[in-house]
Structure 1
Amino acid sequence: MYYEQFSKKLETISGITVTPFHKDTKEIDWDGVKENAEYLVKKGLEVIVPCGNTSEFYALTVEEAKEEMKVVTEQVNGRAVVVAGVGYSVQTAIELGQHAKEVGADCIMIHMPIHPYITTEGAVEYFTNIIEAVDLPAIVYFKDASLSDDVLVQLAPLEKLVGVKYAINDLPRFAKAVKKMPAEHNVAMICGTAEKWAPFFYNAGAVGFTSGLVNLYPEASFELLEALENKDDETVWKIWNKLVPFEDLRAKYAAGNNVVVVKEAMELVGLNAGVTREPVAPLGEQDKKELQELIASWDLKPQKV
């Protein structure tokens, strides 16, 4: 019953945190991590995800990832569900997951393995071993289109699996995956590609969506969520048209802009995002100009925690 109830908590926006790095040293600005977590809590986020891809997870050392989980969990202090991202090798992911448990996180999100050679059977074993070894509810981040959705079907009976962050923008495929997941296992199917795709995924069976935009403009994200829940199509498409240029900018260069656009936008409205780490470069001048014009059109006022 606990895990069934937990999956219901994911029927909302999962806010993926950013990791602010100092401009000169690219060391983590831990005060900024706290400020950004506090901002999300005060803006009403019910699910907060440190060490996600928008957090630049793969640019963090294992020790930095552990510290980020700890700092965010302590700052949130029970006011929202904290879902800690884990990944790398099976043993490293387990180590991170066990640390997440120790510092008080509520759930883990298991990143898609970054590996040049991966099979459906190997992926099932990877996720299963991590889920079974960590005493927390788990979400699987599923984004490798070359893998079969049978991975998810085989994982569904695991009691601790409470959600899937589905990040393959193939709507017929997603709809089929939702129908394949047995209802009795109570696995929340989440749109893993933010506001641009949320309306389409909702129509195909999603119950929540992830967001990087909430780090600077959560009001718009919540307006979209409410409209989706109320099946208010007029408002859905009004908000979608407003936000899609931002998400299009993030999607440029095979999504190479994903994080840096969020960080630049946060800085434009007075929030502490810092710079990106390699291999993410600063935003190009033309993209920066487009972003400035977009933020101005939204009439966002300078913000602070």
Structure 2
Amino acid sequence: MTTTDQAPAARELPQLLSGVVAVLPTPFERTGGEVDLEALERLTAVLDSAGVHTLTALGNTGEVFQLNAEERRAVLAATARGRTRAGLIAGVTGALSEALESASEAERLGYDAVMLHDPPDPLAGERGIVGLITEFADRSPLPVVLYVRTPRLGADALAELALHPQIVGVKYARHDLHVLGTLLERPGVRDACTWTCGLAESMVAPMRALGLVGFTSGIANVRPDLSLAVWRASRAGDFDALAAALRPLLPFELLRTRAGGRHNVAVVKAALALTGADAGEVRAPCEPLDARAAEALAGIVRAWPASV
């Protein structure tokens, strides 16, 4: 990359993680189901030009667990090609050695940080997870964002990890705000890294009350302007404006999170198709929308304001 193409410097990570962090879907071709890299590059460029602060490749919305190693590498490369100014986070998973290889690839492509997914092993214990994350952070060539999604890590373990010098951010994607609130009151924990609402627009308001300004977003893939309006109100601490900006978006988020989130990705992809940016279907075990949900989604998207 040329100097003008370089990613934002690491010193800017707190600002990147305090903004809108869009989690990109992985588009699939309608015929054959292969990854549509051109569509991904276009989508990345659209979000980048719209002013979305940070883009996450290979998050859960990107169906990371449905992709093989070759596809994951291709997704990282296509996202990097589409980016001009936004920050880039690479989701990584798999065995420790595989995750570290992915982190090295992300560094080569100009990513700013990596996000280690929660270990999928159902037998993983708390100390084992802490050990895995600590070793990954110790050896990662890029700063690490901690993804907190399951209840397997208690407050003591989270505080320990947040204080790790290589962990620069925490994407908090749990609803137990009482745990988060007490955790942030521990000495040094709040300021050790940047804390981000990891549950998208639906939880921005309560997490903003605890001081978290940035948030992840799926809606930003479809209407980045609406997500950015939410962020501006969040940054200002204007809860009346925040409530107004969130109001048209909450039905969309409710559709994504119902039934344990089984339609989380399908809602985003179907909304993209409705707005002329087809990203294909989801791969199993994600589930496509049924006719009733698709009709509801179409009504939600039609009700969105034309501009903000």
TM-score when normalising by structure 2: 0.92
What is the CA deviation profile of residues 152-205 of structure 1, one whole-angstrom value per residue up to 9, with x for unaligned ones? 211233222100101111111111122236158531111100000011111123
Between Structure 1 and Structure 2, how many residues are aligned? 299
Query: Residue 44 of structure 2: which of 37, 48, 55 is its match?
Result: 37
Cα contact 1:196–1:247 (8 A) shared by 2: yes
- 2:65 aligned partner: 58
Q: Give 1:73's match in structure 2, choosing from 53, 77, 80.
A: 80
Q: Which residue of 2 aligns with 1:147?
A: 153
Q: 1:123, 1:288 → 2: CA distance?
A: 38
After superposition, residues 267-282 of structure 1 pair within 5 angstroms as 267-282=273-288
> C-alpha root-mean-square deviation of aligned residues, in Å?
1.7
Equivalent position of 2:35 in the other structure: 28
Aligned counterpart, 2:256:
250
Check 1:29–1:238 CA distance in 2 against 1; reply closer, same or farther (3 A cut): same
Deviation at 1:251, TM superposition (A): 0.6
Return the alpha-carbon distance in structure 2 between the equivalents of residues 5 and 28 of structure 1: 31
Is 1:198 paired with 2:204? yes
Q: 1:5 to 1:185 in 2, by over 3 A?
A: farther
Cα distance change of structure 1 residues 111 and 279 upon mapping to structure 2, 3 Å threshold: same
In 1, distance between residues paired with 2:109 and 2:285?
Answer: 29
The SS at the match of 2:247 is helix
Q: Quick one: distance in 2 between partners of 1:196 and 1:28?
A: 29
Note the residue ranges of structure 1 that are not aligned, 5 or more in a row: none
Stretches of 4+ moved more than 4 A in 1? 2-5
- Aligned pair partner of 1:178 in 163, 174, 184: 184
2:134 and 2:292 mapped to 1: Cα distance? 44
- Once the two structures are superposed, residues 276-303 of structure 1 have per-residue CA deviations (whole angstroms, 9 ceiling, x without a partner) of 11111221111001001111111559xx
Given that 1:156 and 1:182 are in contact with CA atoms closer than 8 Å, whether structure 2 keeps it comes out as no
Query: Identical aligned pairs, as a percentage?
Result: 29
CA distance in structure 2 between the aligned counterparts of 1:243 and 1:289, rounded to whole angstroms = 16
Change (3 A) 1:176 1:63: same
Pairwise mapping of residues 1-305 of structure 1 onto structure 2 (< 5 A)? 5-77=12-84, 79-180=85-186, 182-183=188-189, 186-298=192-304, 300=306
Task: Tell me how far 1:101 sits from its aligned partner.
Answer: 1.0
